[in-house]
Amino acid sequence: MAENFDLNNMYLDDNSFTTVPEGDYHFLVEDYDLAYSTSDKMPENTQVIVVHMDIPAVIDGSLEHVSVKLNLNVYSKALFAIRQFFESIGLMPEKGRAKMPDLELMKGKSGVCHIIQGVSSKGNEYNQVENCYSPSKAPLKCANDDAWNKKDDGFRPADEAEVNPFV
């Protein structure tokens, strides 16, 4: 997802971003990228699906769109996280075996995740997705229910009538 910046007014040291308190949040999948892991904990050339999630939240009384990235390592020991994510957005059955869905289908889908604050090696806090909930196990109340229900801002709960290609 490419962003357009006003290069004449851009501060190169601006690494500020909004963090949200730990809790359960509705999210909307905006886009994704494919990359390779740079972690020493993963085998060399491990592919990563970088999911760009948008989380509406009321912060200091105003609605903000908080961007969160979820890195899904395509690695045998991490397949549970990929499955969990696709279950949460309704693109994989909760039981049984299924192949990886077409990644393009996840754009515009919504789900519920649990966010904690991670700390970078430089000591900066960031939003970290701890896990995604399957629809049958999603909490009834989320920290951003008020912001999520503001449909005039482009967010909406998943359409119950959407066709699931795996059902």
pLDDT in tens, 111-144: 999 999 988 888 888 999 999 999 999 999 999 9
Percent of the chain clearing pLDDT 90 (strictly above): 49
Range of the domain at 40: 18-153
Please state, as a whole number, how many other Cβ atoms lie within 10 Å of the Cβ of residue 24.
19
Look at residue 96 in the predicted model and tell me its pLDDT. 67
Among 19-23, 78-82, 94-98, the range scoring the smallest mean pLDDT is: 94-98
Q: Is residue 65 part of a domain?
A: yes
Q: Is residue 2 part of a domain?
A: no
Please count the structural domains in the chain. 1
Q: Is residue 37 part of a domain?
A: yes
Say if residues 139 and 89 touch (Cβ distance below 8 Å). Answer: no
Look at residue 77 in the predicted model and tell me its pLDDT. 87
Q: Is residue 22 part of a domain?
A: yes
Say if residues 162 and 90 touch (Cβ distance below 8 Å). Answer: yes
Look at residue 15 in the predicted model and tell me its pLDDT. 52
Q: Is residue 127 part of a domain?
A: yes
